[in-house]
DNA sequence: ACCACCCTATAGATTTAGCTTATACCGAAG
DNA sequence: CTTCGGTATAAGCTAAATCTATAGGGTGGT
């Protein structure tokens, strides 16, 4: 049994004559005639009686019709879904990400991405960057976002790099500067990330290169926490200009020199082929980060 | 999208390699290879990545697989049902019949007929013979059984004719006879059908031809009622030897001469082609009546 | 009665899916 | 470095589905 035969049969049952069915299917009348003859032969069912030069469906045809329509609709649904998968409207996107990005920026971007893709299932799992990396190897996720550096890098990794900016409270004397350097921050109370963080290490190097005193008054795990401390007047700080942007309301951001690099990585599965959808979203992220 | 492509895809997804799938489908490996390549091209989905000379299904393939299986099962169900329709295991058999036959004989025969045909829907509607005839013209039934004669006969009518037998209570003097004639019943109390019935007319003719006195002590609408009256000792009677047989327990049946004909007709729809099932059952009935 | 019109069936030619066999290629394992 | 298990490509075949052209059957109007 072929799909084409069922299509011809359905159209013929609905519209009554072969000539009309042929028109609707944009084929010639003999094509319908022989296709139906084949269907009758293959199913062993007499579907129509030729009566007065016209066709009359048999009771068997009516019974068969119900099933034929059901099968056709299943096939048509399969076609539709193939298209949805192809255009990224159907699928699932399970993303593992570190805290700062998964709190605000990532969900906003995912929601935007999903807006034009109706059937999408979304999942966001928040873990620290090293756990994120480990989850990916167990194949549980379509995409992961981690901060660099990682203990062991992956082949399927795309790095996004930012230059951090200095953040000061509104009205702070340094808020007027075009660029801020360690010299400007000599002895100024400073909110930093933890000592183990690469940001900490880069800052320490920068201050020592300038011979300035780095007066660290607070250490935090996340930029977002640091933002809040700066906003509360603890001192000045440093922050990445994209991921942490949502937390910098009422703060002034200024370029910092020398460049303090903040790097995050998009990781795709290595064992298994990443889904088209994951690739698309990775591309979307790179454009919006 | 063709059914064959989905079959190949399903087998390949389940068994992992093209070589194995080809074996299971009893075709060559290149056949699978090109069929899958076509499916990928037509759906626009990359279903497998060729990795290390082996195939690895993509996430898209897994999503598509679910739908492909659904569609295939619908098509396979359609094939199965075509076969059931062809072998008469599926369908409906709505039969209109007159009272005597629909009380006992017809349901027994229908049950027997349906025993080997699992999916059958049965309907029995009981009406008097003339109503039965009229119901058939409105296309509501697959088969009708009516007593003859009818007001206007039909082309699509098969007549079954019986010679009625005389029924007497057990121990009645006439119970020993080989054949009973009107001469034997001269003045004997007799239970007959109603005056309008052809049986009544035939009996009246027979008695007058023999010059015997026909002593009708009761008239009934149905043979079954007459049987009960005879069994109760009202007199003797006449009955058809098949349809009314279930009602003649504890009665003795003897051939009657001259022949009293009892005729029933099987009517098939005229406007519309009768279903194969109706034809089969009509044939079955003719053999068992 | 006959012709026009509508419908279906058949014949012969063409295209293409799906199949075959033969063969090349590729990676892993001995 | 060869063998083995697997996949892809090429060339050729068959059958399904399509086309055009044409025949034939019914119905209704003139």
> For position B139, what pLDDT does the model report?
60
Which residues of chain A lie closer than 8 angstroms to B273, CB-CB? 49, 51, 56, 58-59
pLDDT of residue A152: 61
pLDDT of residue B200 exceeding 80: yes
* Average pLDDT value over all residues in chain B: 83
Helix, strand, coil tally for chain B in percent (to 5)? 45, 25, 30
Would you state the pLDDT for residue B152?
A: 61
User: Which residue stretches of chain A have pLDDT < 50?
Assistant: none
Could you tell me the end-to-end alpha-carbon distance of chain A, in angstroms, rounded to an integer? 52
Smallest CA–CA distance from B44 into chain A, residue: A86
Quick one: what percent of chain B has pLDDT higher than 90?
Answer: 0
pLDDT score of B21: 86
* pLDDT tens digits along B17-26: 888 888 888 8
pLDDT score at B124: 82
Asked if pLDDT for residue B156 goes beyond 80, the answer is: no
Asked if B3's CB is within 8 angstroms of A56's CB, the reply is no
Contact flag, residue A34 CB and nucleic strand C, below 7 A: yes
Q: In what order do the strands lie in the sheet with A251-255?
A: A215-220, A189-193, A236-239, A165-169, A251-255
pLDDT of A153 reads 60
State residue B157's pLDDT score.
Answer: 78
Q: Is the pLDDT of residue B53 over 80?
A: no
Q: Tens of pLDDT along A179-216?
A: 888 888 888 888 888 887 888 888 888 888 888 888 88
CA–C1' B29–C21 (A): 11
- Search chain B and give the residue with CA nearest A49: B273
pLDDT reported for residue B219: 87
Q: Is the CB of A26 under 7 A from strand D?
A: yes
For residues B10 and B139, the model is more confident at B10
Residue B169 pLDDT > 80, yes or no?
yes
Residues A260 and A166 sit within 8 Å (Cβ to Cβ): no
- The reply to whether B8 Cβ lies less than 7 angstroms from strand C is yes
The confidence score (pLDDT) of residue A139 equals 60
User: What is the C-alpha separation between A54 and A45, in angstroms, rounded?
Assistant: 18
> For chain B, what percent of residues have pLDDT higher than 70?
92
Q: Which residues contact B29 (CB under 8 A, 6 or more apart)?
A: B18, B19, B22
Cα–Cα distance for residue pair B45/B33, rounded to 1 Å: 15
- Which of A71, A73, A141, A142 has the highest number of chain B CBs within 10 A, making it the mutation to test binding with B? A71
pLDDT at A29: 87
Q: Reply yes or no on whether the pLDDT at B151 is more than 80.
A: no
pLDDT for the residue numbered A151: 58
DSSP assignment string, B85-104: HHTTSEEEEEEEE-HHHHHT
Cis peptide before B149 (omega within 30 of 0): yes
């Amino acid at each position: 049994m072929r799909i084409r035969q069922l299509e011809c049969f359905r159209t013929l049952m609905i519209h009554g004559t072969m000539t009309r069915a042929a028109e609707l299917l944009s084929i010639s009348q003999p094509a319908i005639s022989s296709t139906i003859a084949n269907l009758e032969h293959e199913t062993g069912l007499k579907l129509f009686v030729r009566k007065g030069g016209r066709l009359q469906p048999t009771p068997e045809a009516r019974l068969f019709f119900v099933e034929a329509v059901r099968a056709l609709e299943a096939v048509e649904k399969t076609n539709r879904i193939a298209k949805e998968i192809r255009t990224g409207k159907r699928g699932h996107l399970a993303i593992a990400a570190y805290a700062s990005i998964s709190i605000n920026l990532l969900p906003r971007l995912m929601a935007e991405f999903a807006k034009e893709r109706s059937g999408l299932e979304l999942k966001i799992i928040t873990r620290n960057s090293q756990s994120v990396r480990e989850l990916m190897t167990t194949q549980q996720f379509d995409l992961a976002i981690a901060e660099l550096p990682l203990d062991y890098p992956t082949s399927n990794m795309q790095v996004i790099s930012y230059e951090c900016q200095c953040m000061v409270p509104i009205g702070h004397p340094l808020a007027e500067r075009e660029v801020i350097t360690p010299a400007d921050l000599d002895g100024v109370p400073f909110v930093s990330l933890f000592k183990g963080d690469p940001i900490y290490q880069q800052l320490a190097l920068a201050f020592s290169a300038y011979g300035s005193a780095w007066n660290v008054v607070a250490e935090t795990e996340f930029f977002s926490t640091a933002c809040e401390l700066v906003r509360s007047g603890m001192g000045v700080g440093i922050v990445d200009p994209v991921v942490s942007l949502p937390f910098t309301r009422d703060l002034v951001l200024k370029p910092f020199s020398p460049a303090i690099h903040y790097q995050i990585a998009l990781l795709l599965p290595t064992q298994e082929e990443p889904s088209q959808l994951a690739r698309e979203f990775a591309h979307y992220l790179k454009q919006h980060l």
